[in-house]
């Protein structure tokens, strides 16, 4: 590769970048910064909840702001940037054999819109009491009557920017994947991670404009006298819930489908086998994406839907378990008879599958309208969605980090320390979230800073889990830092024969420009 | 930027614009959907009275009249009686009364709802004080009539056939559109 003499200045390289790898790195850095802020908020929340009574947070609006900001940060500024912006930018062009993204300058705009969105969100948190609406921003709580300051407006603008960033990014990914595949890299030979990003990009493209529309209605309701959601003006607050969840449910698949892609790559690599049922895996993701758009009202079982509507949403929701089951069993079948190597990425992949199954099972529980009436807005729901999309997503991100860090920075992590970090984190998150099923079934409501004494025991255990998770998080930051500073030199392919995708065919670290001569995939097996 | 990329990018931009359009189109569509289906407790308006036939003749449902006032509106708003017995398919008149307790003239607007929601599609309003804004001078008390009937088809629906009680609910809010005029009037009066 003859391109390493190409060295733009620091400011040019990092602030005006059009290089998919540098932009991917920027996304990952932003995600780590946001994760530390969002994680810090959750630890503060758990500190307050460790014992009944009010210990640290006597301003309840501030507690609501913490809960809200934690949700926004983790969804829009940690998981999405890391998986789609970070790993997606880094590895989609590498894996399909393209020299860069289709619209490199648009890629730069996407990143900096997101950075501006993060800054706006922080400003919102510091303005006039902050937005204490929950990440769902339901009116009338989010209307002018209950949030008179500018905080909610700033929060809305922050989400607008994050949404615009994701829409532009999604259009970029779709164009890249459709138009810039190497010769012979047919749609049915693309690595599953590329498939995952493709499906995710379509979900983003269809779901985020609806959020943008709803947020604009809320903004004009608050400031310009419209009445989309204001009852006395002829509006309907329930309309917000429909629009929000029409975006919000696909959003959870936007978060988890890239994770499916990462896990598929890793399971195949470390089992030294091609993935079992490649086409089934690809179309299972597509099916999840399609069905994900017609199940939104299962978030609204408590809003007085009539019994037939509820029956439909229960059934449609449960149907999603079928393609999801296809994925789980295909991963297991890939491992079956494989020569499995328990490197850290594989441990994290195992961890992901375990956590995702636990969260999936409670998801089937909650899909029943009858049971949801009892569990609605309790810690059971909190435990469910943290298992299925929060910690499962984080596990996939850690898996991807350890899998690809050698390719990204040219240095390999310390295997012993990383395994220790996995076990601390795995034990920590389970102690943190498993007991919340129990408090939830006992009726503990979510989004409250104080609770009756009978809930004290499991809340204490849960907070201990948060402490262990925090130790695991800081150990991860230490590992990441020492790897980048002084890790061992990584080979082009540190994983051996199982790693067959195209990113392992270039040097580590991946040179500034790759695939200048397009690789020819004609006649080869699916990349996975 | 190749022509091929531009074409795909343009198609995707159209898709995004379409979804934004759809989110706004959902506002009137949702309203229409609620009015047609009675979804979320939206009663029917202005339909001709359907006479009761067969078993429905003489079937009585108790309608509970509920009245609420938004705290921003200094009105006393209450129903004349709390419960009225209504025969299916028979036009019935219920009378609320509202009194302005404040010392300025205020315009209010009432929003309405029927509970349980599933009964709403069988409650039909012929005329109602809630169809228009109501302006009350300081201390003025005004009767607020509503005439409605319950569609005998309520007995044909297995989800609603067993109902013996329906709640008709109103909440008065200060009018958003008239609020500014009120202030202007106050200034000229003062």
Structural domain includes residue B16? no
Q: Considering CB atoms only, which of A174, A232, A304 is closest to B111?
A: A232
Q: Is residue B1 part of a domain?
A: no
Write the residue in B9, B26, B177 that is nearest to A171 by C-beta: B9
CATH number at residue B120: 2.60.370.10
Query: Chain B residues contacting A, CB < 8 Å?
Result: 1-2, 4-5, 8-9, 12-13, 15-20, 22-24, 26-27, 30-31, 34, 39-41, 70, 109, 111, 116-118, 159, 171, 173-177
Has residue B104 been placed in a domain?
yes
| CA dihedral (A125, A129, A135, A139) positive or negative | negative
- Here the tokens at position B180 are 């500014």
Distinct helix (H) and strand (E) counts, chain A: 18, 2
Residue B25 placed within a domain: no
- Which range of residues forms the domain containing residue B148? 38-189
Nearest partner of A518 among A500, A495, A502, judged by Cα:
A502
Cβ neighbour number for residue A522 with a 10 Å cutoff = 10
Say how many domains are in chain B. Answer: 1
d(CA A487, CA A490): 8
DSSP character at residue A443: T
Q: Is residue B12 part of a domain?
A: no
A479 three-class SS = helix
Q: CB of A230 within 8 Å of any CB in chain B?
A: yes
Give the one of A103, A210, A214 whose C-beta lies nearest to B1's C-beta.
A103
CA gap A440, A335 in Å, rounded: 35
Q: Is A42 a catalytic residue?
A: no
Q: What is the SS3 assignment for B151? A: coil
CB contact under 8 A, B30 and A209: no
According to DSSP, the β-strands at B165-174 and B60-69 are parallel
CA distance A113 to A166: 9
CB contact (8 A) between residue B177 and residue A232: no
Phi, psi torsion values for A488, nearest 5 degrees: -70, 150
Q: How many CB pairs under 8 A join A and B?
A: 91
- The full 3-state SS of A106-131, as one line of letters, equals HHHHHHHHHHHHHHHHHHHHCCCCCC
pLDDT per residue, tens digit, chain A (528 aa), is 445 556 788 888 899 999 999 999 999 999 999 999 999 999 999 999 999 999 999 999 999 999 999 999 999 999 999 999 999 999 999 999 999 999 999 999 999 999 999 999 999 999 988 999 999 999 999 999 899 999 999 999 999 999 999 999 999 999 999 999 999 999 999 999 999 999 999 999 999 999 999 999 999 999 998 999 998 888 889 999 999 999 999 999 999 999 999 999 999 999 999 999 999 999 999 999 999 999 999 999 998 888 889 999 999 999 999 999 999 999 999 999 999 999 999 999 999 999 999 999 999 999 999 999 999 999 999 999 999 999 999 999 999 999 999 999 999 999 999 999 999 999 999 999 999 999 999 999 999 999 999 999 999 999 999 999 999 999 999 999 999 999 999 999 999 888 989 999 999 899 989 888 888 887 776 655
Backbone phi, psi, residue B63, to 5°: -105, 120
The residue among A171, A221, A232, A247 with the most chain B CBs within 10 A of its CB, best to mutate, is: A232
User: Do the beta carbons of residue A156 and residue A120 sit within 8 Å?
Assistant: no
Centroid of chain to Cα A21: 20
Q: Do A231 and B12 touch (CB under 8 A)?
A: no
Q: Which of A285, A421, A283 is nearest to A345 (CA)?
A: A421
- Do B84 and B63 form a contact (C-beta atoms < 8 A)? yes
Which of B4, B26, B159 faces A179 most closely, judged by CB atoms? B4
In a domain, B20, yes or no: no
DSSP B128: E
Q: Could you give the ipTM of this predicted complex?
A: 0.85
Distance from CA of A148 to the nearest CA of B (A): 15
Residue pair A355/A392 in contact (Cβ under 8 Å)? The answer is yes
Give the residue on B whose Cα is nearest the Cα of A307.
B159
- The verdict on residue B182 lying in a domain is yes
Q: For residue A215, what is the nearest residue in chain B, using CA coordinates?
A: B23
What are the structure tokens assigned to B102, written together? Answer: 């404040």
- Cα distance between residue A133 and residue A143, in whole Å: 9
Q: Which of B169, B173, B59 is nearest to B117 (CA)?
A: B169
Count of residues making up chain A: 528
Q: What is the dihedral of CA A417, A419, A425, A430, to 10 degrees?
A: -160
Distance CA A176, CA A181 (A): 7
What is the spatial distance between Cα A487 and Cα A466, in angstroms, rounded to a whole number?
Answer: 29
Q: What is the pTM of this model?
A: 0.92
Strands B60-69 and B75-79: unpaired
The answer to whether residue B13 sits within a structural domain is no
């Amino acid at each position: 590769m003859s391109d390493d003499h190409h060295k733009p200045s620091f400011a040019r390289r990092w602030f005006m970048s059009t290089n998919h790898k540098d932009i991917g790195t920027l996304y990952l850095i932003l995600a780590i910064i946001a994760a530390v802020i969002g994680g810090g908020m959750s630890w503060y929340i758990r500190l307050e909840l460790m014992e009944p009574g009010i210990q640290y947070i006597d301003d309840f609006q501030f507690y609501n702001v913490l809960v809200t900001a934690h949700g926004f940060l983790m969804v829009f500024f940690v998981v999405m940037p890391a998986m789609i912006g970070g790993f997606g930018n880094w590895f989609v062009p590498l894996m399909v054999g393209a020299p860069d993204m289709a619209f490199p300058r648009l890629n730069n705009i996407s990143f900096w819109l997101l950075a501006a969105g993060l800054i706006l969100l922080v400003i919102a948190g510091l303005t006039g009491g902050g937005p204490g609406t929950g990440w769902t921003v339901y009116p009338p709580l989010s209307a002018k009557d209950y949030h008179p300051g500018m905080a909610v407006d700033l929060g809305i603008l922050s989400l607008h920017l994050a949404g615009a960033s994701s829409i532009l990014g999604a259009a970029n990914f779709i164009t890249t994947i459709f138009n810039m595949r190497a010769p012979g890299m047919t749609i049915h030979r693309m690595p599953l991670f590329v498939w995952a990003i493709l499906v995710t990009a379509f979900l983003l493209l269809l779901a985020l404009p609806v959020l943008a529309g709803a947020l604009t209605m809320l903004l004009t309701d608050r400031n310009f006298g419209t009445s989309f959601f204001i009852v006395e003006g002829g509006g309907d607050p329930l309309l917000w819930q429909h629009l929000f969840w029409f975006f919000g449910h696909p959003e959870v698949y936007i978060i988890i489908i890239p994770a499916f892609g990462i896990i598929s790559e890793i399971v195949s690599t470390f089992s030294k086998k091609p993935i079992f049922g490649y086409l089934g895996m690809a179309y299972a993701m597509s099916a999840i994406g399609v069905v994900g758009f017609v199940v939104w009202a299962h978030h609204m079982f408590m809003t007085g839907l009539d019994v037939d509507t509820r029956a439909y949403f229960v059934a449609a929701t449960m149907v999603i378990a079928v393609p999801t089951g296809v994925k789980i069993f295909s991963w297991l079948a890939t491992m079956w008879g494989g020569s499995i190597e328990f490197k850290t990425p594989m441990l994290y992949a195992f961890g992901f599958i375990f956590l995702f199954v636990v969260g999936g099972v409670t998801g089937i529980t909650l899909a029943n309208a009858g049971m949801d009436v009892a569990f609605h807005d309790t810690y059971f729901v909190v435990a469910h969605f943290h298992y299925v999309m929060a910690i499962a997503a984080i596990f996939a991100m850690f898996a991807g980090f350890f899998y690809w860090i050698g390719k990204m920075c040219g240095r390999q992590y310390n295997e012993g320390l990383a395994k220790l970090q996995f076990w601390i984190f795995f034990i920590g998150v389970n102690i943190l979230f498993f007991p919340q099923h129990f408090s939830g079934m006992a009726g503990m409501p979510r989004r409250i800073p104080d609770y009756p004494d009978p809930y004290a025991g499991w809340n204490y255990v849960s907070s201990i889990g948060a402490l262990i998770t925090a130790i695991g998080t800081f150990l991860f930051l230490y590992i990441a830092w020492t790897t980048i500073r002084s890790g061992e030199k990584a080979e082009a392919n540190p994983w051996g024969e199982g790693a067959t995708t195209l990113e392992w065919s270039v040097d580590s670290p991946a040179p500034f420009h790759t695939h200048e001569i397009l690789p020819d995939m004609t006649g080869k097996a699916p990349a996975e | 930027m190749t022509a091929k990329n531009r074409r795909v990018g343009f198609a995707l931009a159209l898709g995004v614009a379409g979804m934004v359009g759809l989110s706004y189109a959902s506002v009137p569509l949702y309203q229409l959907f609620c009015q047609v289906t009675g979804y979320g407790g939206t009663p029917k308006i202005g339909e001709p009275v359907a006479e009761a036939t067969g078993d429905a003749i003489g079937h009585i449902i108790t309608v509970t009249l509920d009245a609420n006032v938004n705290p921003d509106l200094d009105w006393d708003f209450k129903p004349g009686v709390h419960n009225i017995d209504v025969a299916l398919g028979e036009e019935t008149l219920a009378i609320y009364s509202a009194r302005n307790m404040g010392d300025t003239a205020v315009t209010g607007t009432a929003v309405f709802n029927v509970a349980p929601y599933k009964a709403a599609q069988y409650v039909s309003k012929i005329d109602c004080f809630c169809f228009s804004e109501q302006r009350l001078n300081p201390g003025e008390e005004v009767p607020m009539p509503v005439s409605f009937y319950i569609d005998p088809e309520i007995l044909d629906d297995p989800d609603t056939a067993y109902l013996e009680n329906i709640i008709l609910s109103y909440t008065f809010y200060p009018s958003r559109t008239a609020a500014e005029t009120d202030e202007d009037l106050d200034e000229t009066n003062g």
